[in-house]
A and B are shown apart, each in its own frame.
Chain A
Amino acid sequence: MSNNTDQDKRQPSLADSVRDLAEREDFEQILMEHDPRLAAVLKQRGMDRRSFLKMMGASLVLAGLQGCVTASAPGEAIIPYVRMPEEVIAGEALMFASSMVLSGFATGLLIETHEGRPHRIEGNPDHPASLGGSDLYTQGSILELYNPNRSTLTRGEGAVRSFREFRDALAAVLPGDGSGLRILTETISSPTLAAQWQAIQQRYPNARWHQYEPVNNDNEVAGMELAFGQAVRPVFTFENADVVVSLDANFLNGMPGSLAYARQFMDQRRIREGSDSMNRLYAVESTPTPTGSMADHRLALAASQVDSFTRALAGAFGISAGSGETTWDGAWFDALVADLEAHRGSSLIIAGPQQPPQVHALAAALNDALGNVGSTLTYIESPIVNPLVQAEDFASLVSDMQAGSVQVLLIIGGNPAFSAPADVAFVEALGSVPFSAHLSLYFDETSELCSWHIPQSHYIETWSDARAFNGAYSVVQPPIGPLYDRTRSPIQMFALLLDDFRSPHDIVRSTWEQAFAAVPNFEAFWNATVHDGVAPNTASPAASVSLSGAVASTVSSIAAAGSGTEIIFRPAPTLFDGRFAWNTWLQELPQPLTSISWDNAALMSPATAASLNVTEGNLVSLTVDGNSMEVPAFIIAGHPDDSVTVSLGYGRGLSAELDRRQNFNAYTIRPNGSPWIASGQVSRAGGRYDVTVIRSTSDGVNLDAMVRFGTLAEFVANPEFAKSKPKDVNLLPGFTYDENAWGMSIDLTACIGCNACILGCQTENNIPNVGKDAVENGREMYWLRVDAHQVSEGGQDQNYFQPVPCMHCENAPCEQVCPVQATVHDNQGLNQMVYNRCVGTRYCSANCPYTVRRFNYFDYIDPADIALEWRNPDVSVRVEGVMEKCTFCVQRINAARAISIQNNEAIPDGAIVPACAAACPTQAIVFGDVNKDGSQVAELKAQPHNYGMLEELNTFPRTTYLARLSNPNEALHDSEEGE
């Protein structure tokens, strides 16, 4: 408050500082910022500064007294650590199974807690939607829990209120039969909310429930309705799929169930010595995605052309659906048809969620015609409660609001004021609703416009449930109680309408008791389910579906192509629909493939950029139906021409540090009618905005030194094609390893470039974010980077992903040049950083051929930050001026060793999983003891296609790679070679 140094010298008392504060001119404003509740009380009572002083004096005395008891004792019994709670051992992490819901579907999690404090999220191996892997959203969501910008106060009618006041206000306006009562939620699959809704409907028969999320499954819902006339959804089984065709579907990284799909897909591609079969992926793709990067054959096609392509493909298999303009390579198409023909029953066609309903319907018809149903995919009843086309439902809600027929609107989650399509006047309509309330994590755009705002509990603070992409019943278990006692969960909001005052836990449990009434011992079943995070054997059974004969006729009319340039909208790879905009982890994290950090950009092909006369960073103006936005251009090879992709979720203007410098909000031009693929005008606008990119491509310079790749046929012919021969000359004596020798193997064939490992590493190792400017200056602190080499070869744009952690060289260049022995070799081959000894000459970094070291140019840690709570207590936090780098998660190695010593046994293989390996959805990273015969990592390193990066420098890296293998179609591969 007061920065006066003289005052500091005479040690001002607390009372002094209170008086100084009261005397300041901007006193009221300061008070409003720091304690809006107190400010509100003062204002209401008409107090002056004198009263404030009196009150603060009394409060200070009382605060002193309160210190004698407990600051804020919870209602329940608490146990001091002197007598430790069962299971909790100080210093040891506990994992709790839970689930996170996104777009309605649950992903299983394990939440790591230290002394009751959650600090990290990993995938739940027992959960069908995770299989142990995790993605950016699940891992990043924990930072939201600790976000200091979370809303903690109930607000209503311009003042801070209590929840009781809200309840009273709501009760006063609730119509008896519910007419005029609308509830707007995000996509819901929760059995508890579904049951609660049924009860609400009985009590308020005229109430209506709408679901709207900007990133939804509308196309799939509508497509299935077209194909089967039923609310079903496809679930894929890659085990039996030898030929996979993606119709603009980023099924490895951008669909419900992606984590499981990525794992299953890659399980068919892990080539080891002797094996010679591998699945084959054809990707017809608009915006380049990790899925297209993994494809054996990728066809860049404008998103609006995928429809025509699908029709042509359907035509080749006897489904007459008309045909559009043919803009693709005929040989490619013929080879695909022949390959599918040869793999009837073992092929799989996947339609992308951003593709229109008819593509989904035709994909269903194709799978049916190829005999894939039951073999590579099944249909299940949609786990979503009331699956509707949300865009239509939302539009009808808004028109009802405008018509004045909505009296009470409860918005539970979501942020429609920000994310509503440009041509749906939600914000204006909200003005004509007399009573509106918004439950949300932050006091956001929607909260500001609603008459009431209730802070939402973070999902890991409260009990809930949901269903996975395959229908499995999942529990959302909170490992921690609400951090802020005024927060409420969606279940509590629904319960409010039912005058149900049980805790969320009791509500969820009683729902399950009814849903699983047939289970003989519910108590045991419930405990097991909560323990595992998922109820066993609850994946939905295959629904019997029959293709409606009308598919062909209903989809036969091709919508007239728009005259303008195609504009593709995609959820932001890191911020999703904008809900993670406060999340610095996700803001800074390089976006998969492009490595853009902090920014939104219009992705376009080099040819499109040339025709628009723009270079990277030039602002382009995108116009759809008269709405326009400006966004910087970003050039990416592999994007179809005359097409531009822009991400949703940016430009919320939250704070100067986060995004106030950019206003690239794609919702402002997004049409409700065609929310993913629009036709509009793209032109060069004046001005520049430099897109922040964490450089990750080699542009082909010395690519062979980094990534080695070949085809399956080449591997079979010459398994050692990727080997390099180090010279093995050293003047210095080498090291010997009597016990363990830790090493890592990274399978480049399996790496999909999703960057989950980077975030996993960051959360485990307390890696700070440095901000946009510092990232621009090359000071990002990630210990692990994923290089995305974009290479054009033979007319094909290829992406090669390569995670690069510290190589832990046996003959480490960094160790030899450190003047103070701050980086040293240990007896297990770890190359260690001794932070205390480091003076920061940075010579080690200059001498590291892999450039994996990171330097603390500033103190990146603000000790006053509540977000400190997420930090891992097992990992030192580094100060300004020291070097840091990947440790192979030495804290996990030591934890495993402690256990092995207790049990008096060797550390079992697989007992140590570094954070990057734990996060990886495809298990591309394997860690273990290379000294131990038969360990997984030793076996991988013995593979013929194992190689070390820059081995010719004699560094003997402990991290090695398995060369990337692909399985191209002979027919196409030869023609490409010929080019």
Chain B
Amino acid sequence: MSSQSIPQQAPAPPLPRLGEITETVTNTIFGKAPLWWLIAFGISSALAGAFVLVLGAVALFGTGLWGINVPIVWGMGITNLVFWIGIGHAGTFISAFLLLMRQSWRNAFSRYAEAMTLFALATAGMFPLFHVGRPEWIFYFAPYPNTMILNPQWLSPLVWDAIAISTYGGISAIFWFLDLIPDIAAMRDKAKRPIPRAFYGFLALGWRSDSNHWERLHKTAYILAALATPLVISVHSVVGLDFAIGNLPGWHHSIFPPYFVAGAIFSGLAMTVIVGIVLRSGYEGLKDFITMDHIDKALKLMLITGLLVTYGYMAETFGGWYKADAFELPLIIERAIGPYAPFYLAMLFFNCILIQLLWFKPVRKNIALILVICVGILIGMWLERFVIVSVSLSYTYLAPTWEVFNFTFWDILTIFGPFGFFFAQFLVFIRFLPSLPISETQQHAVEVAHA
């Protein structure tokens, strides 16, 4: 596939001079921390603190602090794990998938979307660790050599999960860092004081903008992108398998893997757009780079994935009805009209109905509406995870064992705390590392100018 065959869809933004791009981006770092950043960081840190408190308390006193029980053995831990891994998905999708597709408009998003991936994964990674009853023995998941020749149980999707997520995390980190190298070098060159210069100099790994460097970097990036792209599909598919392999009426669906991937990209893009809008309004200068046009494209993608998710809901419900499964029908009915109805109906509203607004161009240009829709999607997708994980668990095969999930104080903290944890990491990142890929944006600008 050659680059010429791909039509350049992005209409030309007002083209800044290349030096200005570097200037604008580095200014966000070397300038004084703006007030909004300090406030945002303060709030995020407080929430992150609450998250650490939850994890510490759960580790100390037991997972019983959460509202889980038998049969609803999985609650906030797994719901949030799936949700946050999903948030991470958009990053890799944008940076790797679109790179392979030579969609160079992606550049404005790619850096911070990749960073989001990492931080979302770091957030998600907390959950399986503290979700288990005895985190101190979690290393039993690893096939470490031992005298009893005890291995993990390879049939278990949780083992596949551990492998898939750690691979994904590793590749994403490398990919992200490789991309950063030229920009860190630019930061090093721009830095005036010795400590920042040493800091960026160390991270720049001796980058000299040599054409050999560029060639190798590009090759490696493409190879890694080729490696990472299947991971976008596989990671959330494997997460979907956790449920599809299980024989619970609400879980045992072959549609889960693709439907999980679509949902992950859906929620990930929503988070990306929210963060993009925040960055745009926070740093005036970035408005020229993260344009409304970019956001428009992301919103269209969201609409597509949202429709896929909607199809998933329909297929799941239809399948349950069509096969007349005596055990699945009560679940389908109960979750729509039973005690969980508010959750389920809100999920349908946010994920299926609200997004229909995105068909309309004026909506896609209205920042306030976009924010509302994207936050709605985040809520909807969180609810979807909750419906799949905990609501399904409430309607087991045997009706005498049915229970209803009760949210405790700790559950509520577990829902909101991770957002603080995620944003605190993200805010540190935009404060110390270039949040836009300088060189790639420059390249894109040149390409657009030449087109």
* A binding-site residues for B, Cβ under 8 Å: 695-699, 701-702, 705-706, 774, 777-779, 785, 787, 789, 804, 813, 816-821, 837-843, 845-847, 849-851, 853-859, 879-883, 949-950, 953
> Which residues of chain A are near B150, meaning CB under 8 Å?
821, 837
Expressed in whole angstroms, the Cα–Cα distance for A819 and B141 within the complex equals: 7
Of the listed stretches B1-9, B26-34, B69-77, B108-116, chain A binds B69-77
* Distance (whole angstroms) from the CB of B155 to the closest CB of chain A: 5
Choose one: A698, A853, A854, A882; the contact of B400 (CB below 8 Å): A698
Given contacts A777-B67, A819-B156, A846-B246, contact A856 B140 (CB under 8 A): no
Among B73, B162, B245, B326, chain A packs the most CB atoms within 10 A around the CB of: B73
Q: Contact mask B378-406 → A, CB, 8 Å, 1/0? A: 00000000000000010011111111001
Q: Are B246 and A882 touching (Cβ within 8 A)?
A: no
Q: Are B397 and A850 touching (Cβ within 8 A)?
A: yes
Choose one: A706, A787, A819, A851; the contact of B70 (CB below 8 Å): A851
For this complex, 30 residue pairs linking A to B, each with C-beta atoms less than 8 Å apart, are: A695-B400, A696-B400, A698-B398, A699-B399, A702-B330, A705-B398, A777-B406, A778-B70, A779-B70, A804-B398, A816-B155, A819-B162, A820-B140, A837-B150, A839-B138, A839-B140, A840-B133, A840-B134, A841-B131, A841-B132, A842-B68, A842-B73, A845-B70, A846-B73, A847-B246, A847-B247, A855-B73, A858-B64, A882-B133, A953-B247
Q: Are A695 and B397 touching (Cβ within 8 A)?
A: no
Q: Are A817 and B248 touching (Cβ within 8 A)?
A: no
Given contacts A817-B157, A820-B140, A850-B398, contact A881 B63 (CB under 8 A): yes
Given contacts A701-B399, A855-B133, contact A845 B158 (CB under 8 A): no
Q: Are B393 and A857 touching (Cβ within 8 A)?
A: no
* B binding-site residues for A, Cβ under 8 Å: 61-64, 67-74, 131-135, 137-138, 140-141, 150-153, 155-159, 162, 242, 245-248, 326-327, 330, 393, 396-403, 406
Given contacts A702-B327, A821-B153, contact A849 B397 (CB under 8 A): yes
Closest to B326 in A: A702
* Distance (whole angstroms) from the CB of B140 to the closest CB of chain A: 4
Closest to A695 in B: B400
5 smallest CB-CB distances across A and B, nearest first, come from: A840-B133, A881-B133, A857-B64, A778-B69, A842-B73
Given contacts A705-B326, A819-B153, A821-B150, contact A950 B158 (CB under 8 A): no
Q: Are A695 and B403 touching (Cβ within 8 A)?
A: yes
Q: Are B132 and A846 touching (Cβ within 8 A)?
A: no
* Distance (whole angstroms) from the CB of B58 to the closest CB of chain A: 10
Expressed in whole angstroms, the Cα–Cα distance for A789 and B402 within the complex equals: 13
Closest to B139 in A: A839
Expressed in whole angstroms, the Cα–Cα distance for A47 and B70 within the complex equals: 56
> Which residues of chain B are near A880, meaning CB under 8 Å?
62, 64, 133-134
Expressed in whole angstroms, the Cα–Cα distance for A777 and B162 within the complex equals: 30
Given contacts A817-B156, A837-B140, contact A695 B62 (CB under 8 A): no
* Distance (whole angstroms) from the CB of B208 to the closest CB of chain A: 47
Q: Are A697 and B152 touching (Cβ within 8 A)?
A: no
Closest to A813 in B: B247
* Distance (whole angstroms) from the CB of A803 to the closest CB of chain B: 12
> Which residues of chain A are near B67, meaning CB under 8 Å?
777
Given contacts A821-B152, A842-B133, A859-B62, contact A851 B158 (CB under 8 A): no
Q: Are A818 and B156 touching (Cβ within 8 A)?
A: yes
> Which residues of chain B are near A855, meaning CB under 8 Å?
70, 73, 133
Q: Are A698 and B399 touching (Cβ within 8 A)?
A: yes
Among B151, B156, B248, chain A packs the most CB atoms within 10 A around the CB of: B156
Expressed in whole angstroms, the Cα–Cα distance for A847 and B156 within the complex equals: 11
Among B155, B246, B396, B398, chain A packs the most CB atoms within 10 A around the CB of: B398
Choose one: A706, A818, A845; the contact of B398 (CB below 8 Å): A706
> Which residues of chain A are near B141, meaning CB under 8 Å?
819-820, 839
Expressed in whole angstroms, the Cα–Cα distance for A705 and B248 within the complex equals: 15
Choose one: B74, B133, B393; the contact of A856 (CB below 8 Å): B133
Given contacts A778-B403, A851-B398, contact A839 B247 (CB under 8 A): no
Choose one: B134, B242, B402; the contact of A839 (CB below 8 Å): B134
Expressed in whole angstroms, the Cα–Cα distance for A953 and B62 within the complex equals: 33
Expressed in whole angstroms, the Cα–Cα distance for A706 and B400 within the complex equals: 10
> Which residues of chain A are near B247, meaning CB under 8 Å?
813, 847, 849, 953
Known: A817-B155, A843-B246. 13 other contacts (CB 8 A): A695-B402, A699-B399, A702-B327, A702-B397, A839-B132, A839-B135, A840-B134, A841-B131, A849-B397, A851-B401, A858-B64, A880-B62, A881-B133
Choose one: A853, A854, A858; the contact of B62 (CB below 8 Å): A858
Given contacts A816-B155, A818-B156, contact A846 B248 (CB under 8 A): yes
Closest to A706 in B: B398
> Which residues of chain A are near B132, meaning CB under 8 Å?
839-842, 881
* Distance (whole angstroms) from the CB of A56 to the closest CB of chain B: 35
> Which residues of chain B are near A821, meaning CB under 8 Å?
150-153
Among B133, B248, B330, chain A packs the most CB atoms within 10 A around the CB of: B133
Q: Are B70 and A853 touching (Cβ within 8 A)?
A: yes
Choose one: B159, B248, B393, B397; the contact of A950 (CB below 8 Å): B397
Closest to B395 in A: A701
> Which residues of chain A are near B135, meaning CB under 8 Å?
839
Q: Are B327 and A843 touching (Cβ within 8 A)?
A: no
* Distance (whole angstroms) from the CB of A493 to the closest CB of chain B: 46
Q: Are A842 and B74 touching (Cβ within 8 A)?
A: yes
Q: Are B158 and A841 touching (Cβ within 8 A)?
A: yes
> Which residues of chain B are near A819, meaning CB under 8 Å?
140-141, 152-153, 156, 158-159, 162
Given contacts A813-B247, A851-B401, A881-B62, contact A838 B153 (CB under 8 A): no
Expressed in whole angstroms, the Cα–Cα distance for A301 and B61 within the complex equals: 51
* Distance (whole angstroms) from the CB of A407 to the closest CB of chain B: 56
Expressed in whole angstroms, the Cα–Cα distance for A255 and B267 within the complex equals: 64
Expressed in whole angstroms, the Cα–Cα distance for A785 and B327 within the complex equals: 21
Expressed in whole angstroms, the Cα–Cα distance for A820 and B403 within the complex equals: 27
Expressed in whole angstroms, the Cα–Cα distance for A927 and B321 within the complex equals: 40
Closest to A788 in B: B400
Choose one: B69, B393, B401; the contact of A846 (CB below 8 Å): B393
Q: Are A840 and B63 touching (Cβ within 8 A)?
A: yes
Choose one: A696, A774, A845, A881; the contact of B73 (CB below 8 Å): A845
Q: Are A849 and B133 touching (Cβ within 8 A)?
A: no
Closest to B73 in A: A842
Expressed in whole angstroms, the Cα–Cα distance for A858 and B68 within the complex equals: 12
> Which residues of chain A are near B156, meaning CB under 8 Å?
816-819, 843
> Which residues of chain A are near B327, meaning CB under 8 Å?
702, 705
Among B151, B153, B245, chain A packs the most CB atoms within 10 A around the CB of: B153
> Which residues of chain B are near A841, meaning CB under 8 Å?
131-133, 158
Closest to B389 in A: A846
Q: Are A820 and B133 touching (Cβ within 8 A)?
A: no
Expressed in whole angstroms, the Cα–Cα distance for A701 and B330 within the complex equals: 8
Choose one: A787, A789, A838, A843; the contact of B158 (CB below 8 Å): A843
Expressed in whole angstroms, the Cα–Cα distance for A69 and B150 within the complex equals: 50
Given contacts A817-B158, A819-B156, contact A789 B400 (CB under 8 A): yes
> Which residues of chain A are near B69, meaning CB under 8 Å?
777-779, 857
> Which residues of chain B are near A950, meaning CB under 8 Å?
397-398
Closest to B403 in A: A778
Closest to A955 in B: B247
Expressed in whole angstroms, the Cα–Cα distance for A881 and B60 within the complex equals: 11
Q: Are A817 and B63 touching (Cβ within 8 A)?
A: no
Closest to B151 in A: A821
> Which residues of chain A are near B155, meaning CB under 8 Å?
816-817
Expressed in whole angstroms, the Cα–Cα distance for A58 and B326 within the complex equals: 75
> Which residues of chain B are near A882, meaning CB under 8 Å?
133-134
Expressed in whole angstroms, the Cα–Cα distance for A697 and B400 within the complex equals: 5
Expressed in whole angstroms, the Cα–Cα distance for A879 and B133 within the complex equals: 10
Expressed in whole angstroms, the Cα–Cα distance for A54 and B397 within the complex equals: 68
> Which residues of chain A are near B134, meaning CB under 8 Å?
838-840, 879-882
Expressed in whole angstroms, the Cα–Cα distance for A837 and B70 within the complex equals: 20
> Which residues of chain B are near A785, meaning CB under 8 Å?
400
Closest to A844 in B: B73
Expressed in whole angstroms, the Cα–Cα distance for A684 and B369 within the complex equals: 51
